[in-house]
Structure 1
Amino acid sequence: MTTPAAPARRVPEAVHRRRWVILGVLMLSLLIVVLDNSILNVAIKTISTPAPTGLGATQSELEWAINSYTLVFAGLLFTAGLLGDRLGRKKVLIGGLAVFGIGSALAAFSGSPAELIGFRAVMGLGAAFVMPATLAVLMNVFERDEQPKAIGIWTGGVGLAIAIGPITGGVLLDHFWWGSVFLVNVPIVLFAVALMLWLVPDSRDPKPGRIDPLGVVLSVTGLVLLVYGIIKGGRLADFTDATVLSTVGAGLAVLAVFVVVEKRSDHPSIDVTYFRSKVFSAAIAAVALVFFALMGVTFFAVFYIQSVRGYSPLDTGLLLLPLAATQMIFAPRARLLVDRFGHRATTTGGLVMLAATLAAFALLDADTPIWFLEVVFFLMGTGMAHVMTPVSVVIMQALPREKAGSASALSNTFRQVGGALGIAVLGSVLSAAYRTDIEDELGLLPPGARHAAGESIEATLAAADRLGARGEALVGEAGDAFLHAMHVTALWGAGVAVAGAIVTALFLPGRTPASEGGDRNQELAPAAER
C-alpha cells in the first residue's frame, strides 16, 4: 500500500517554515498604519483646542486632517500595488514605511492646521505603499488552504491596532503634547524596517501591469473635489449652496471620466472588468460601506465621550477598547461561521448587527449609563469582525495569486474611500445639524464670531469660556445641540449599514459544502474576469 504523496507546495520550503513569523512582521507594519488613525481619534479634541494646548483646528480642518491622509492613501493604493508587483513587494514596503516615518515626524511638529493637513498627506503617501504590500506578501508566503486563516489573523491585527491606538494616544496626551501621537510612530517604523530586512522574502508579479498616471490624477482629483464639496456643505449647513453643488458636481464628473478612461485603458489603475462579478462587487461594496459607517461614527463618538460626558483622552481610549478588542478576538474566528453558514449569512448578519448598534447611538444622552455605551461598542466590533474577514477572503481569492497586490489594493482603496466619505458625509451631517440647533443660542457673541462658534461643539465651548459667567448657559445648549446632531448622524450611518446588508444578502455566495470549497474558490477568479 503506497502512501499518497503530499501535495506539492508553491511556496519555497524555507519561506514556508517561517511563514507565521513573517505574518507577525507584516502585522507590525499594518499596525503602524492603522495605529496612527486610531490614535488620532482620541486626539482630535485636543488638536481642536486653541494653542498652546492644541492647534485650534476647526471641525472642517479636523476632517481634512483625517481625509488628507485617507484620500492620498486611497488614490495611490492601486498604483502602489502595481509598483510592488513590478519592483518587489519587500522593497516597496520598506520604502513606504520610511516615508510614513518621515511624515509622522513632520506632523508631530506642525505649527498650524494647514501644516498638519499637508504632513498627514505625506503619511498617507507612505501608508499607500505599506498596506497592499503586506497582504500581497501574505498571499505569497501561505499556501491557498492556509490563506483564509492567515487573512483572519491579519484582519485581527487591525483590531489590535484599533485597540491599543486610543489607549496609547490617551497615555501620551496625559503626559506629553499633542504631537507625541505622531512621533510615537518613528521608533516603531525603525523596528519594523529592521525585521523586514532580516525576515521577509521579496516577491513580484512576473507579468506586472503598467502604471496609469492619468488614472491616479483623475481619481485623486475627483475624490478631493467631492469630499471638499461635502465638507463645505456641512460647514455652511447648506448643501444647496452654489459652491457646494458645483464642487460636488465637478468631483462626480471627474470620477465619471476616470471610469471611462479606465474602461478604455490597456493598463488601468482599476480594472473595471473585475466588477462584472456580482460576488466581487458585493464584497467590495461591503468593505466600503462598513468603513463609511465606522469612520463617521468614531469621529462623533469621541466628541460625545470627551466634550459631552467630560472624559479624558485616556478614559476615551479605554472606553473604545471593546470596539477594538472584539475585532481582534472574533476576526480570526469568523471563518468558522463562514464554514458553517456561508459568506452571505455571516456578512449580512454582521452588517445588520452594525446597523443596530449605530442606531443605538440615537438613544444616548448626557447621563446614559456608560455600560450601555460599552455594550454598543462591543456589539459593533463583533459585527465588523464578521464582515471584514469573509469579504477579505472573497476579494483576495477572486484574483490569481500573482495579482495579490492588485486585489489588496482594490480592497484597501474602497476601504479608504468609504472611510473618507464616511467622515465627510456623516461629519457634514453632524456639523449642519449642530449649526442649525445652536445658531439661535449664539446671540451673546459678536456677529463676526457667531459663524465660527457654530461650527462645532468645541468652537462653541471655547466661545462660552471667553464669555466667562455669561457663557455658562451656552455650555448646556451646546451639549443639547450636539446630542441632537449625533442622533441624526447615527441614524444616517445605520441606514448605510442596512444598505450594505441588502447588497450582501442579494449577491454574496451562500453556504458551500466543504468538499466543494476549493472548487468554489477557484471559480471566483474566472468570475471576476467575465
Structure 2
Amino acid sequence: MTNPAVPQAPRIPEAVHRRRWAILGVLMLSLLIVVLDNSILNVAIKTISTPAPTGIGATQSELEWAINAYTLVFAGLLFTAGLLGDRLGRKKVLLGGLAVFGLGSAMAAESGSPAQLIAFRAVMGLGAAFVMPATLAVLMNVFEREEQPKAIGIWAGGVGLAIAIGPITGGLLLDHFWWGSVFLVNVPIVILAIVLMIVLVPDSKDPRPGRIDPVGVLLSIVGLVLLVYGIIKGGDKGDFANATVLSTIAAGLVVLVGFVVYEKRCDHPSIDIDYFKNKVFSAAMAAIALVFFALMGITFFSVFYTQSVRGYSPLQTGALMLPLAAAQLIFAPRARLVVAKIGVRATTTGGLVLLAGMLAAFNILDKTTPIWILEVMFFLMGTGMAHVMTPTSVVIMQALPREKAGSASALSNTFRQVGGALGIAVLGSVLATAYRGGIESKLGMLPAGLRETAGSSIEATLGVAQKLGPKGQALVGPANDAFLHAMHVTALWAAGVALLGAVVTAVFLPGKAPARPAPDGDVQEKVGAGR
C-alpha cells in the first residue's frame, strides 16, 4: 500500500521561531517531571516496601503495580491524549495534564497504604498521558524540519538529565524526609512549568482533526490491564501454568486483538493501523518498545542489588546510576551526527547490541564485584540507549505531517510505556520465580505460614530475618545468593530482548541516507530513504 503524500508544512511564524530554544527548555521541564517521577520511584521502592512507619510495607507485586498503574493509565490514554491535543490545542492539554499530574503527586505523597499509592499513581498517569505526547508535538510545530533532529536529540537528552536528577533527588529526600517527599517534590516543578508554559509556548492544533474513539480507548486499556495483571500474578504465584493466570493473559490478548480489528474497521480510529504497513515505521516502534522492555526490568532489580545485596543507601544508589544518565545526556543530542555518517540502521543496531552486551554482563556481578565495573556497565548502557532513542524518534516523528504530530508522539510514547510496563511485569515475574526457586529450600526453619511470605522477595526474606534476631542471620547469605542467581537469569532474558530489537532494526531500518535529502513525498520516501 502507498501511503498518502505528506504535504510540505508551512514555515514557522518568525516570532515563534526566535524563541524556539526557550520553548524547548520549557518542554524539557515538563518532560522532566514525568521522567523524574519514575526515576525517583526506582530509588524509593526499597523504602516503600519497608513496614510502617518507615514505609508502607508494599510487597513486590504491589510495587510492580505502583509502577504499572501509572504506566498502564499513561499508555492506555496516550491515543486519546494525542488526538485531543491535535483537536483542542496542544498547549491546552499540556497545561491540563500538568495540573492533574501535580494533584496526583500531592495525593500520592499522603498515601496511607499500598492500595492508595497505586490509585494515586494512576491519577498521575492520567496527567502524564496529556503531558508527554504534547511536548514532542509542540516541538515539531516550533522547529523547522531541518532542525528537528537536533531538537529531538536534545529532547531525548532531557530523559538522561531526568534520570540523573531523579535518583540523587530521591536519595537526598529519603535521607532527610519521609518516603512521600519523593512525590511531593513534583508539585513546585509543576507550578513553575505551568507559569512558563503560559508565558512562552504557542498553541497549535490540527485544522482537520478526527473524532475521539472511546471504544478503542476502552479496549486498549482493558487488554493491557488483563495482560500485565496476568503476567504479574504468574510471577507472584511462581506458576505461569496456573489456570487463572493463563486465562487472564489469554483474555488480555483476545481484547488487544479485538482492539486492532476494531481500529481497522472504525471510520474514526484512535490509531490508523495503516501506518504500520510501513516496515520502517513499524521497526522503529518495535525498537523503542524492546529497549524499554529490557531497560525497565533491569532498573527494577538493580535497585535491590545495590541496596539489599551491596548495602548502599538510597542516595548512594542514586549516585551509582549517574553514569547511565550522563551517557544519555552526552550522546542523545549527538546521535544525529552518527546517523549522518553511518545511517539509521547501523546506529540503532549498534546501540542495541551494546545494550544487550551490558545486560548480559550483569552475570559477572556478585556480592564483592568492584563497584566501578557496574558504573562502566551503566555508562555503556546509556550510550547504547542514546543511539537508539534519538534516531527512532526522528524516524517516527518525521513520518507523519506536522499537524498529526500529537498522534505520532502518542504512538511513540505508547510503545515506550507499554514496552516498559511489560518489561517490569515479565522480567519482574522472572526475577520473583527464580528467587523463590532458589530460596525455598532454605526456609525450612520458618513456620509454614511464614515461608510463603518470606519467599516472595529478598526484602521479604531479610525482613523476616531481622524480626527473628540472631537466628535470622542464617537466612541473609542464602537470600543474597538466591537473589544474585535470579538477577543473572533475568539479565539474560533482558539481553535476549535487546538482541531481538537489534535483529529488527538490522533488517528493516534504512541505511545511510543519500547525499541529497529526498523531496517531501509519501511516508515511505521520508522514512525509508537509504534502503
TM-score computed with the length of structure 1 as normaliser:
0.97
Instruction: Provide the residue aligned with 2:194 in structure 1.
Output: 193
Q: Which amino acid aligns with 2:338?
A: L
Q: Which amino acid aligns with 1:176?
A: F
Instruction: Provide the residue aligned with 1:71 in structure 2.
Output: 72
TM-score computed with the length of structure 2 as normaliser:
0.97
Instruction: Provide the residue aligned with 1:94 in structure 2.
Output: 95
Instruction: Provide the residue aligned with 1:21 in structure 2.
Output: 22
In structure 2, do the counterparts of structure 1 residues 23 and 468 end up closer, same or farther at CA, with 3 Å as the change threshold?
same
Instruction: Provide the residue aligned with 2:486 in structure 1.
Output: 485
Matched, 1:170 2:167: no
Q: Which amino acid aligns with 1:155?
A: A
Distance across 2 between alignment mates of 1:371 and 1:488: 22
Between stretches 157-166 and 514-523, larger displacement belongs to 514-523
Q: Which amino acid aligns with 2:384?
A: G
Secondary structure (helix, strand or coil) at the match of 2:432 reads helix
Instruction: Provide the residue aligned with 1:4 in structure 2.
Output: none
Secondary structure (helix, strand or coil) at the match of 1:494 reads helix
Instruction: Provide the residue aligned with 2:108 in structure 1.
Output: 107
Distance across 1 between alignment mates of 2:475 and 2:225: 35
Deviation at 1:269, TM superposition (A): 1.3
**Native 8 Å contact 2:278 2:524 kept in 1:** no
**Native 8 Å contact 1:307 1:457 kept in 2:** yes
Q: Which amino acid aligns with 1:354?
A: L
Offset from partner CA, 1:380-399 (integer Å, 9 cap, x none)? 00000000000000000011
Matched, 1:370 2:339: no
Instruction: Provide the residue aligned with 1:37 in structure 2.
Output: 38
**Native 8 Å contact 1:99 1:125 kept in 2:** yes
Distance across 2 between alignment mates of 1:252 and 1:8: 39
Distance across 2 between alignment mates of 1:343 and 1:62: 37
Secondary structure (helix, strand or coil) at the match of 1:56 reads coil
Distance across 2 between alignment mates of 1:65 and 1:449: 24
Offset from partner CA, 1:322-381 (integer Å, 9 cap, x none)? 001100110000000000000000000000000000000011100000010001001000
Between stretches 510-519 and 234-243, larger displacement belongs to 510-519
Instruction: Provide the residue aligned with 1:127 in structure 2.
Output: 128
Distance across 2 between alignment mates of 1:524 and 1:512: 11
Q: Which amino acid aligns with 2:363?
A: A
Distance across 2 between alignment mates of 1:372 and 1:57: 31
Distance across 2 between alignment mates of 1:209 and 1:516: 31
Deviation at 1:514, TM superposition (A): 3.0
Q: Unaligned stretches of 5+ in structure 2?
A: 1-7
Instruction: Provide the residue aligned with 1:516 in structure 2.
Output: 517
Deviation at 1:527, TM superposition (A): 7.5
Deviation at 1:521, TM superposition (A): 8.7
**Native 8 Å contact 1:157 1:328 kept in 2:** yes
Distance across 1 between alignment mates of 2:525 and 2:408: 12
Instruction: Provide the residue aligned with 2:395 in structure 1.
Output: 394
Instruction: Provide the residue aligned with 2:424 in structure 1.
Output: 423
1:144-223 alignment runs, 5 A limit = 144-223=145-224
Deviation at 1:453, TM superposition (A): 1.1
Offset from partner CA, 1:456-480 (integer Å, 9 cap, x none)? 0000000111111111010111000
Distance across 2 between alignment mates of 1:228 and 1:451: 20
**Native 8 Å contact 2:9 2:401 kept in 1:** no
Distance across 2 between alignment mates of 1:166 and 1:210: 40
Q: Which amino acid aligns with 2:276?
A: F
Deviation at 1:8, TM superposition (A): 10
**Native 8 Å contact 1:34 1:158 kept in 2:** yes
Q: Which amino acid aligns with 1:209?
A: G
Instruction: Provide the residue aligned with 1:11 in structure 2.
Output: 12
Instruction: Provide the residue aligned with 2:234 in structure 1.
Output: 233
**Native 8 Å contact 1:398 1:524 kept in 2:** no
Instruction: Provide the residue aligned with 2:253 in structure 1.
Output: 252
Instruction: Provide the residue aligned with 2:50 in structure 1.
Output: 49
Offset from partner CA, 1:294-348 (integer Å, 9 cap, x none)? 0000000000000000000000000000001100110000000000000000000
Q: Which amino acid aligns with 2:12?
A: V
Distance across 2 between alignment mates of 1:285 and 1:367: 37
Deviation at 1:271, TM superposition (A): 1.2
Instruction: Provide the residue aligned with 2:3 in structure 1.
Output: none
1:402-421 alignment runs, 5 A limit = 402-421=403-422
**Native 8 Å contact 2:518 2:525 kept in 1:** no
Instruction: Provide the residue aligned with 2:300 in structure 1.
Output: 299
Distance across 2 between alignment mates of 1:68 and 1:464: 31
Distance across 1 between alignment mates of 2:43 and 2:245: 29
Q: Which runs of 4+ in 1 moved over 3 A?
A: 517-528
Q: Which amino acid aligns with 2:391?
A: P
Instruction: Provide the residue aligned with 1:116 in structure 2.
Output: 117
Deviation at 1:523, TM superposition (A): 4.3
Instruction: Provide the residue aligned with 1:446 in structure 2.
Output: 447
Distance across 1 between alignment mates of 2:22 and 2:519: 26
Secondary structure (helix, strand or coil) at the match of 1:491 reads helix
Distance across 2 between alignment mates of 1:340 and 1:482: 43
Distance across 2 between alignment mates of 1:122 and 1:468: 40
Matched, 1:502 2:506: no
Q: Which amino acid aligns with 2:114?
A: P
User: What percentage of aligned pairs have identical amino acids?
Assistant: 79
Offset from partner CA, 1:165-206 (integer Å, 9 cap, x none)? 000000000000000000000000000000000000000000
Distance across 1 between alignment mates of 2:366 and 2:427: 19
**Native 8 Å contact 1:155 1:388 kept in 2:** yes
**Native 8 Å contact 2:362 2:491 kept in 1:** yes
**Native 8 Å contact 1:35 1:164 kept in 2:** yes
Q: Which amino acid aligns with 2:126?
A: L
Secondary structure (helix, strand or coil) at the match of 1:141 reads coil
In structure 2, do the counterparts of structure 1 residues 526 and 291 end up closer, same or farther at CA, with 3 Å as the change threshold?
closer
Instruction: Provide the residue aligned with 1:276 in structure 2.
Output: 277
**Native 8 Å contact 1:512 1:520 kept in 2:** no
Distance across 2 between alignment mates of 1:375 and 1:451: 37
Secondary structure (helix, strand or coil) at the match of 1:516 reads coil
Secondary structure (helix, strand or coil) at the match of 1:406 reads helix
Length, aligned pairs only: 522
Q: Which amino acid aligns with 2:231?
A: I
Distance across 2 between alignment mates of 1:84 and 1:201: 13
Q: Which amino acid aligns with 1:516?
A: P
Secondary structure (helix, strand or coil) at the match of 2:212 reads coil
**Native 8 Å contact 1:397 1:524 kept in 2:** no
Secondary structure (helix, strand or coil) at the match of 1:514 reads coil
In structure 2, do the counterparts of structure 1 residues 370 and 526 end up closer, same or farther at CA, with 3 Å as the change threshold?
closer
Between stretches 203-212 and 178-187, larger displacement belongs to 203-212
Distance across 2 between alignment mates of 1:384 and 1:118: 31
**Native 8 Å contact 2:510 2:528 kept in 1:** no
Instruction: Provide the residue aligned with 1:3 in structure 2.
Output: none
Offset from partner CA, 1:18-50 (integer Å, 9 cap, x none)? 000000000000001000000001000000001
Instruction: Provide the residue aligned with 2:289 in structure 1.
Output: 288
